[in-house]
Structure 1
């Protein structure tokens, strides 16, 4: 029977060492080094001693600005084993952005990869009380500290409610918020992910998404431990290296987000595309049916989608044992142990009243792997978590069979001429044009009331640019008249977060700063 109150990642990993000490835990594709569970345990123990020697204790926050690397894993799990809290900084951040996270979290130390030290010198200039530790360079590096003869870190009591990681939201609206994820949530997620993906003992999961993201922390790392398998860690996603690394290291499972799946389908076809050991890939958002079909048939694997957030690692998932509903996010995903509270999901209107099936409203979730709240923001926590229900801010609907379908971020639904329009639907339609790589839609003020649609378009081939007229004609052929954008803007690339989310606030700023780039649809104003 699972004791939810005592679940923690230190004991979770310790159980794996006891069961399979010689099995592979970590493979780093950067140099093809490999560590067993026993060897990894030794590295983690040394990292725990290093943190303790610096005075880091239970509840202390430590910021990391490191690329994917074995050192990230050892330093993080060592920190977690003494009750410290990871604050992982997006490695694409500039000084002001990194400073915000360090200041907001109250981190006393920052572990910096050598390539990020310059950014963090600026942070230290603003926050002189913060100590910056170099990853590898010099005698004062964290690596040197791990290799020193230090007393072991004392045993610390850990509970399921202890925070293991502050996952900062993307900050697409206002400043990022630190999501407090717990030891219990991460252990439950690893155990459940193995069940969701039908993983087998010893499976290898490929992790090319950044370790500052909840996907790699909670899904890839924890699932590898739960399966007594290996995490094949890549420094970063690379379309050119992806399949060679997957084949070389006998990967059986991988995760994807954003445009990653689309990029893989657009690579040059090869006769050995299906020559891989991958059985299943999971990712968000839900892909268009033709993209799913292309991935499955070309690469010989099963591709499923679902719904999760930094605020909850559970949520929705396409079930592997039921017929597919094209475009669906699936149904509630549960922990395999019946003693763990089951996930609940519902769709409500603006008053919090559950709506009939087939009607769009806000998606609410309740499950056993919910965040404790937003760090230092009790009011925002109370606004988001109400009576145990997480208000996702996403519009969705549920069909008669209980499957959920995403409509849009509620803030991205455009109200035009009395109609609610999903920006996602328009984006997907426009992006199907053969000369268009990506599209993003925002609402802009209309002359009289409501909003108009503006679509930003990225050409697939800069040498063969698409015209605004082509966009308008294509949209008119595939969308109802009221969904056809009034404006088009051609752009070289869409601004995105490191987790491939389009930063629509930046698109709004681009348009607000210079509206001369808008191209208006001829004859649209009648």
Structure 2
């Protein structure tokens, strides 16, 4: 296995534009596979030619440097093609969640003031309605199947006119605006440069020791920073291959891995839990996956021992600051930790700096909990059209994550809770995330979410919303007893509400703001203070 810097050294130096990085990788062996999707395999040469044709098409349609282009579709090769073609002319891709309704999509597309939108057949009607009212009606195209009134991207590319592509595209041009999931209000559009995208890919090579002959299976959505900055950018940096899956499916996950020859995949906590709980009849032991990024402690044993995957890597990043910390590929990994500060394959390249501070902004000693502040070379350029929120996100050049962590003596960071997920009970701070994890480990619980509700004497009481696993009839008393056996008395919830499902954000995090806004939840909950003798 090559060292990460040896992988990068396989290719000529480049200018850190997407076009420059791609050309650097393509010239080594242009017939190697670059992207596999829907039964088609694109070689590096074929994809580079398609990007140039697509860039000429965009210019012919009036798309210029700085213009925003929305993409609202399920994962497909068109996402990656448009990302590189737009970057080639200095324009910007705005990925949009294909599950959005009209109002959600309207906010993003209007806020970004898009000039064009690429949709899927199943999102076209919503995208069209969402674009109504824009000052200039955007050009709309389809990525998967043409219609009489809406052209197909591939058909248009085939007829792209000749044009001179610009030579003045800088690596510091914005290439992506990724909107946050908006758990605390309207989504914010985090802007990232081409340099940050390419550099983020190089850092991912370091995190998972990605090799030039590997196949990265992309099951996470391409509107999310993980799939873009880690999987796509990592494939680019390593000169590897990517396999795009339209949408995660637990039923077909292992068969897809076998059929595609995937060796690496990124997941989130929800996917890990789902795969752990699926029937083993779906598992295919002949799969070739050897690395998984994003495995949490609760499922690590299953992935390693039952699924036979030796390298399980976890880290920390946000839409605004991708890839900050990571458990080292070469070890040691500390269970439950986010790892130490990550690094670039080139030891001479500086990477992130992290501080843990109290409410007064003073650094706290190792072992104490505080908010994580970050400086990193791939920090966002700011929030699009929102200078006030951009200013509020930083203090003296440090990005304020809003996450509470602790750092141990070895420099490993451990997530405690979102700062806004703290429950204040009788003078003590309680992390809702800890309760979520502990209750979620009950054999009869599928998912749990702890939120604060007003206490009679001020501050908060703890309410836990619980989704039972099928076939289990867990009671509120059993949930409380489970907590008593594992947590301090202060952390045992007063209220337990059983629900059919929890609300989730587009990135599959529990939408606790939605739970807090539900006035009936407390009314439906069992009050254990009253139930107790």
Give the distance between the partners of 2:431 and 2:231, measured in 1 at CA: 31
Change (3 A) 1:154 1:272: closer
Give the distance between the partners of 1:271 and 1:508, measured in 2 at CA: 37
- Please give the TM-score of this superposition, normalised by the length of structure 2: 0.93
Partner in structure 2 of residue 281 of structure 1: 292
Residue 241 in structure 1 maps to residue 252 in structure 2: yes
- Please give the TM-score of this superposition, normalised by the length of structure 1: 0.94
Residue 228 in structure 1 maps to residue 239 in structure 2: yes
**Per-residue deviation, 1:508:** 1.1
Residue 428 in structure 1 maps to residue 407 in structure 2: no
Partner in structure 2 of residue 173 of structure 1: 184
Change (3 A) 1:156 1:506: farther
**Per-residue deviation, 1:452:** 0.8
Partner in structure 2 of residue 183 of structure 1: 194
**Per-residue deviation, 1:152:** 3.0
Contact 1:69–1:235 under 8 Å retained in 2: yes
1:111-155 Cα shifts (integer Å, max 9, x gaps): 121211111221233326232413132354133321214123522
Partner in structure 2 of residue 117 of structure 1: 124
Contact 1:258–1:499 under 8 Å retained in 2: no
Please point out which of 83, 97, 102 is paired with 2:90.
83
1:197-237 Cα shifts (integer Å, max 9, x gaps): 11222111110111111111111111111111111100010
Instruction: State the Cα RMSD in Å.
Output: 2.1
Partner in structure 1 of residue 480 of structure 2: 472
Number of aligned residues: 519
Structure 1 residue runs of 5 or longer lacking an equivalent are none
Change (3 A) 1:104 1:513: farther
1:416-451 Cα shifts (integer Å, max 9, x gaps): 111111111111111111111010111111111211
1:449-493 Cα shifts (integer Å, max 9, x gaps): 2111111101110x4332222212222222211101111111111
SS at match of 1:415: strand
Q: What does residue range 357-436 of structure 1 map to in structure 2 within 5 Å?
A: 357-436=366-445
Change (3 A) 1:525 1:345: farther
Give the distance between the partners of 1:279 and 1:367, measured in 2 at CA: 29
Give the distance between the partners of 1:239 and 1:153, measured in 2 at CA: 46
Residue 93 in structure 1 maps to residue 100 in structure 2: yes
Give the distance between the partners of 1:352 and 1:51, measured in 2 at CA: 47
Give the distance between the partners of 2:120 and 2:282, measured in 1 at CA: 39
Residue 18 in structure 1 maps to residue 27 in structure 2: yes
Partner in structure 2 of residue 267 of structure 1: 278
Contact 1:364–1:391 under 8 Å retained in 2: yes
Structure 2 residue runs of 5 or longer lacking an equivalent are 1-8
Q: What does residue range 429-468 of structure 1 map to in structure 2 within 5 Å?
A: 429-461=438-470, 463-468=471-476
Partner in structure 2 of residue 313 of structure 1: 322
Change (3 A) 1:51 1:112: same
Partner in structure 2 of residue 133 of structure 1: 140
**Per-residue deviation, 1:5:** 11
